[in-house]
Chain A
Amino acid sequence: MKKLKIWQKNVLMLIVIIVLMVSALLVQPNGSFGGSDGAAETMITKLDPSYKPWISALLKPKSGEIESLLFTLQGSLGVGIIAYIIGYFRGKKKNAIN
């Protein structure tokens, strides 16, 4: 087998990730794909019906839309930082060569 270049490996791995996600959606056509926290509460109240949360979050996103806005913000913040750093060093390297 010919040795793959790094970018070819990266593309291959990306494809595997996409396949993982899409297959999840295909395998469970009736899945709710809800996540998380509401469901955790249900589980806990099932195990201990008498338990009452003794404190609640200070700020709660007003709706699902606002929540996804904040999640997107969080992700883009990270991407922005990483893209800046990679770009900065790419440029620096190029300058050093010239």
Chain B
Amino acid sequence: MTKHYQTISRILAILVLLLIITPQRAYAMHIMEGFLPLSWCIFWFAVFLPFFIYGLIKIKQIVAVDDHNKILLALCGAFIFILSALKIPSVTGSTSHPTGVGLGTALFGPGVISILGTICLLFQALLLAHGGLTTLGANAVSMAVVGPFVGYGVYRLFKKMNINHSVALFACAALADLATYLTTSIQLGVVFPDPNTGVLGSVLKFIGIFCITQIPISIAEGLLTVITYNLISSSLPMKEGTIK
């Protein structure tokens, strides 16, 4: 048991060191209005569309099964609203925000997030000038599709391996967060290749910036998701069937 703790503390020490020695500016996960060429905007909307339709079908099914699910869906959407409004300071000397998609993903699967996440993105694009309408497709693909699907995959895997539910939930939320920012790095790197090192160099540059800042924030997001789940599971009528 003590050996276990030693390994964990060693990994943590290395991570912290890595964070301190690489100070970087932060970049929000939302790609700003006008910063993707029109053809790319259309491309990402086209990629997003099937997931949007899948999400609509899923939500209809879920609501039909049990009336309580409607309320739980509202709760998952509200959680995304809260978390994506939080700008959390990171050890790199900048701030960035979590995505909040982990809770809904674990409760209902990744499909519903295509809708819930996009509602939140739309709110921020319209009222806060964060993200944009033309870049909504690209931002939705990163936060409302790739993130939740990666998180769900991890969650299912952990459940299958009989790992503690809280740990699975934590991993689901934290990795969905990281996957979202990884996707944004790729989306930007492809459009703005580095003059010297090309697309790959640019993607790596964006990954370096995004993901290092995001590591402590994804940990915070994972913990917040577990706390919220603990709070709701003790008072909400959640049947085993709800949690897939």
Q: Give residues in A with beta carbon < 8 Å to B.
A: 6, 9-10, 13-14, 16-17, 20-21, 23-25, 27-28, 30-37, 39-44, 47-48, 51, 53-61, 67, 70-72, 74-75, 77-82, 85-86, 88-90, 93
Contact = CB atoms under 8 A, between A and B. Distances in A.
B127 interface: yes
19 contacts: A13-B226, A13-B227, A20-B220, A24-B90, A27-B19, A32-B25, A36-B26, A36-B87, A36-B96, A40-B31, A41-B35, A43-B27, A59-B126, A74-B128, A79-B78, A81-B77, A82-B82, A86-B235, A89-B235
Interface in B121-137: 123-130, 132-134
Contacts of B216: 20, 24
A31 B227 CA distance: 29
A59 B129 CA distance: 6
Nearest to A23: B91
Q: Range of interface residues on chain B?
A: 35 or more
A48 B192 contact: yes
B105 interface: no
Given A31-B93, A34-B95, A17 B220 contact: yes
B236 A89 contact: yes
A24 B223 contact: no
A53 B127 contact: no
A39 B230 CA distance: 37
Contacts of A37: 27-28, 30, 32, 130
A78 B79 contact: yes
B184 to A, nearest CB: 9
A75 B127 CA distance: 14
Contacts of B92: 24, 28, 31
A6 to B, nearest CB: 5
B207 interface: no
Interface in B1-52: 19-20, 23, 25-28, 30-35, 37-38
B89 A25 contact: yes
A42 B26 CA distance: 11
B41 to A, nearest CB: 9
A44 B188 contact: yes
A91 to B, nearest CB: 9
A74 B123 contact: yes
